[in-house]
């Protein structure tokens, strides 16, 4: 009996050790913090002019780099994000914006044009919902992990693990609002689509698709071009 009890006791200890050694992936790598890390994006922007009934198209590149880390007023590690713009690869980069970001044990926040958004929450799990405007004065807006840890290819670049955040998806017969962001492990954001477009005609022409009827608003895409450190 003593031998049996000793064996059972040792088995419990070994099982406990195995459980303690298990590393749970909470998804922190989807929001890198390493200084010097950068991502370059190809940006396509479409502006629908209701007065001229034309579509103004703009293409350019954006580079976002983690320039440094410092302590903010709340003594949190804060990323200084420098954002550079250029028309194409033949031009020099020009510094246009400085944003900041913070990552805590349960969420990642980013300040864009003086507005703080909760970009991700941890752990990253499909179906999880949170208020992306929890840290600003805008109205509540639910973000959701549409999928997590999915292989994808963007701009001929392949990523083993990506997640998709649907921030807004609202459409009807005359208006469409979309906001989604995609992240890859150890890279950060690799894709973004934002659209707020509308058909302003008093009478809907159902012989045309919605895209053919758009006459106001804007629509833009960020697609990763390259990344590194």
At 13 the pLDDT is: 47
* pLDDT above 80 for 14: no
Phi-psi region at 146: left, alpha or beta (left = phi > 0; alpha = psi -120 to 50): alpha
Q: Angle at CA 226, nearest 5°, toward 41 and 195?
A: 25
* pLDDT above 70 for 102: yes
At 9 the pLDDT is: 44
Q: Note the pTM of the prediction, 2 decimals.
A: 0.86
Phi, psi for 204 (deg, rounded to 5): -80, 130
User: DSSP 3-state helix, strand, coil percentages of the chain (rounded to 5)?
Assistant: 10, 55, 30
> DSSP string covering 20-38, please?
HHPPP--SGGGS---TT-E
Residue with tokens 């459409």: 171
What gap in Å lies between CA 145 and CA 148, rounded to an integer?
7
Sign of the dihedral defined by the CA atoms of residues 111, 65, 27, 180, in that order? positive
* pLDDT above 90 for 62: yes
Dihedral of the alpha carbons of 143, 168, 37, 33, in degrees to the nearest 10: -20
At 172 the pLDDT is: 84
* pLDDT above 90 for 4: no
Average pLDDT over residues 158-165: 98
Tokens of residue 229, six digits: 């450190």
Residue with tokens 């058909």: 199
* pLDDT above 50 for 8: no
The pLDDT tens digits for 34-48 are 999 999 999 999 999
Average pLDDT over residues 172-198: 94
* pLDDT above 70 for 68: yes
With pLDDT > 70 as the criterion, what percentage of the chain qualifies? 90
Greater confidence, 7 or 186? 186
- Mean of per-residue pLDDT scores for the chain: 90
At 54 the pLDDT is: 87
At 22 the pLDDT is: 61
Residue 95's beta-bridge partner residues? 84
Are 183 and 115 spatial neighbours (Cβ–Cβ below 8 Å)?
Answer: no
Confidence band for 61, pLDDT divided at 50, 70 and 90: very high
> DSSP string covering 164-193, please?
EEEEEEEE-SSEEEEEEEEEETTTEEEEEE
Average pLDDT over residues 124-150: 97
């Amino acid at each position: 009996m003593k031998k049996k009890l000793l064996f059972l006791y040792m088995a419990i200890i070994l099982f406990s050790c195995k459980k303690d050694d298990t590393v749970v992936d909470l998804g922190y790598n989807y929001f890198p913090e390493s200084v010097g890390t950068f991502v370059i994006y190809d940006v396509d922007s479409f502006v629908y002019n209701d007065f001229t009934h034309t579509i103004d198209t703009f293409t350019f590149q954006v580079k976002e780099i983690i320039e440094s880390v410092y302590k903010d007023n709340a003594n949190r590690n804060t990323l200084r994000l420098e954002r550079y713009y250029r028309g194409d690869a033949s031009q020099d980069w020009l510094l246009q914006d400085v944003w900041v970001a913070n990552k805590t044990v349960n969420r990642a926040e980013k300040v864009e044009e003086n507005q703080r958004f909760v970009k991700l929450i941890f752990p990253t799990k499909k179906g999880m919902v949170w208020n992306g405007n929890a840290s600003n004065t805008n109205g509540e807006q639910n973000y959701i992990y549409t999928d997590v840890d999915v292989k994808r290819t963007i701009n001929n670049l392949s990523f083993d693990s990506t997640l998709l955040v649907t921030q807004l998806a609202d459409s009807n017969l005359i208006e469409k609002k979309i906001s989604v962001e995609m992240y890859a492990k150890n890279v950060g954001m690799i894709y973004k689509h934002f659209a707020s477009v509308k058909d302003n005609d008093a009478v809907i022409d159902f012989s045309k698709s919605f895209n053919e009827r758009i006459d106001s608003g804007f629509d833009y895409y960020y697609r990763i071009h390259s990344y590194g450190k």
